[in-house]
Amino acid sequence: MREIVLDTETTGLDPNQGHRLVEVGCVELLNRIPTGLTFHAYINPERDMPFEAFNVHGLSAEFLSQHKRFHEIVDEFMAFIGDDTPLVIHNAEFDHKFLCAELKLVKRGLIARERLVDTLALARRKHSAGPYNLDALCSKYGIDNSRRTKHGALLDAEILAEVYLELLGGRQASLGLAESVSPSTIVVGGAGGGTLRTRPAPLKPRLTEAEVAAHRAFVGTLGEAPIWKSYLGDTA
């Protein structure tokens, strides 16, 4: 399954008050794993930059005036996000209204709300207490966000991709099956591409001697050839 983690920066809080998009960053996930493919663009908003917004992302009107306007990057952007790929966004309503406002200005089709996956809503459902901003979630999940001295669309999308995976239950290695692997061996990777790494020390047994003895006694009641004897060995 393909998903796009997306973030934007703007000149303010409301496109209905004349505020514009100034940066968009996207990260592609395939089966919940980053593929390395990204989309990033600074956008000339053709207006001034309020001091409050500049303090958030550090993008000046002078810097942005050297970059393309939205209508000049819209085709590449829309091709990257596709027609129905889910869009993973933190506080999705905010980014969605700015993207739709820009698309309206260039007379393009709008992004359907059904495509939005709001990580803010996911965080609120998963955790009873906030805060739920990106920095707080990074702290909760031990995600390094030290590069995030200011907001930046691509960097925030990359960080959000990690947060999103944690909100879904954490990053997990794909299942690999191998024959005769000892308890001290870790299998990493999928079928055909797995690698074996040896633990520094084997894991301690989790069963007590009494539990093992009770299980063997139970197996003894199953008849002459229970399948469990294949696993118990000579001591069965």
Q: Which residues are catalytic?
A: 151
State both tokens at 200.
């520094």
Q: How many helices (H) and strands (E) would you count in the chain?
A: 9, 7
DSSP string, 50-102: -HHHHHHH---HHHHTTS--HHHHHHHHHHHHTTT--EEETTHHHHHHHHHHH
Q: How far apart are the C-alpha atoms of 184 and 229, rounded to whole Å?
A: 23
* β-sheet with 33-42: strand ranges across: 33-42, 21-30, 2-10, 87-89, 116-118
Residue 235 DSSP class: G
With tokens 């700015």, the residue in question is 98
